[in-house]
């Protein structure tokens, strides 16, 4: 649900615009699905530290109208008014430095990282592959050793859809933890193009890329992995199984 209609190409490219949009969607879904929408909205207004008077002035309604709604004296507002109320909270936060948006943006980014850990000592890539029952896709025959050399010092399991949609270039750095010598494991992979394109585009490269239960591995993903000399692995195990197995290596 796009709540901001007046946006330019520059806005779309701006990670702060994306953070605003994601938070607006979160507010809308929580309020609409709540058993007590008026109380849920009041709770969010308090979290934004916005007074009824300031919000009313921002969206062009009377403070008493907002008060009646929050106290249950007025029927739930129309979807159009609800949209304006949510937009008003977001816009006022932006005017005040976007502190609430920044806080919740970090929380939403964390949803894309399903598991993340560091190893006390480097793990041999072949051992790592055995643990996750992985199959090498980016090398065959005599050249396999060229793709399996860098020790694995940690791993990050990433929801590829959320990660690709939500991570800015700075956010992308967070998945590397304390070391870039790590395996990046991606879930919800259809053909595997997008994760490898993201890896290809970023100057810092992981030691290994793993696709968890992919539907298919596109030849382009394999080609990019070979160009970057990064082992591209697939595994049929679930995220839970992988996490449990890798935790034993810590």
How many helices and strands, by DSSP H and E, does the chain display? 14, 6
Domains of the chain: which residue ranges?
Answer: 9-108, 111-247
Local structure of residue 75 (DSSP, 8 states)? P
Q: At what angle do helices 193-201 and 219-228 cross, to 10 degrees?
A: 30
Q: What average pLDDT score do residues 63-72 get?
A: 87
Local structure of residue 18 (DSSP, 8 states)? H
User: How does pLDDT run across 36-54, given as a tens digit for each residue?
Assistant: 888 889 999 999 999 999 9
Query: Is-contact 24 3, C-beta < 8 A?
Result: yes
pLDDT band at 1 (very low <50, low <70, confident <90, very high): very low
239: number of Cβ within 10 Å: 16
Predicted TM-score (pTM) of this structure: 0.57
Closest to 82 in 3D by CA, of 19, 40, 20: 40
pLDDT band at 224 (very low <50, low <70, confident <90, very high): very high
User: How does pLDDT run across 127-140, given as a tens digit for each residue?
Assistant: 999 999 999 998 75
pLDDT of residue 7: 39
Geometric angle at alpha carbon 41, from 36 and 44, rounded to 5°:
130
pLDDT of residue 106: 61
Q: Phi/psi at 120 (nearest 5 deg)?
A: -70, -30
CA distance readout (Å), 153 to 50, 113, 182: 45, 17, 5
Mean pLDDT of the chain: 82
The highest-level CATH class for domain 111-247 is alpha beta
Query: Does CATH number 3.40.190.10 belong to domain 9-108?
Result: no
| More confident position, 134 or 10 | 134
pLDDT of residue 55: 95
Please check the confidence at residue 249 and state whether its pLDDT lies above 50. Answer: yes
* Separation of alpha carbons 73 and 59, rounded Å: 20
């Amino acid at each position: 649900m796009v709540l901001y209609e007046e946006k330019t190409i520059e806005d779309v490219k701006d990670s702060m615009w994306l953070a605003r949009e994601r938070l607006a969607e979160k507010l809308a879904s929580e309020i609409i699905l709540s058993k007590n929408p008026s109380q849920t909205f009041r709770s969010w207004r308090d979290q934004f530290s916005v007074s009824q008077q300031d919000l009313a002035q921002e969206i062009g309604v009377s403070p008493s109208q907002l008060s009646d709604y929050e106290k249950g004296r007025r029927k739930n507002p129309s979807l159009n008014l609800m949209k304006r109320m949510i937009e008003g909270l977001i816009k006022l936060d932006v005017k005040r430095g976007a502190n609430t948006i920044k806080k919740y943006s970090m929380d939403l980014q964390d949803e894309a990282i399903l598991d993340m850990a560091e190893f006390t000592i480097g793990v041999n890539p072949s051992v790592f592959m055995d643990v996750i029952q992985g199959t090498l896709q980016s090398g065959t025959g005599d050249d396999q050793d060229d793709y399996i050399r860098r020790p694995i010092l940690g791993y990050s399991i990433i929801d590829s859809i959320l990660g690709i949609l939500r991570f800015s270039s700075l956010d992308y750095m967070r998945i590397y933890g304390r070391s870039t010598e790590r395996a990046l494991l991606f879930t919800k992979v259809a053909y595997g193009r997008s994760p490898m394109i993201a890896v290809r585009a970023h100057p810092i490269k992981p030691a290994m890329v793993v696709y968890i239960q992919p539907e298919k591995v596109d030849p382009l993903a394999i080609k990019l992995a070979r160009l970057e000399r990064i082992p591209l692995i697939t595994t049929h195990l679930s995220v839970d199984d992988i996490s449990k197995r890798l935790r034993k290596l810590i």
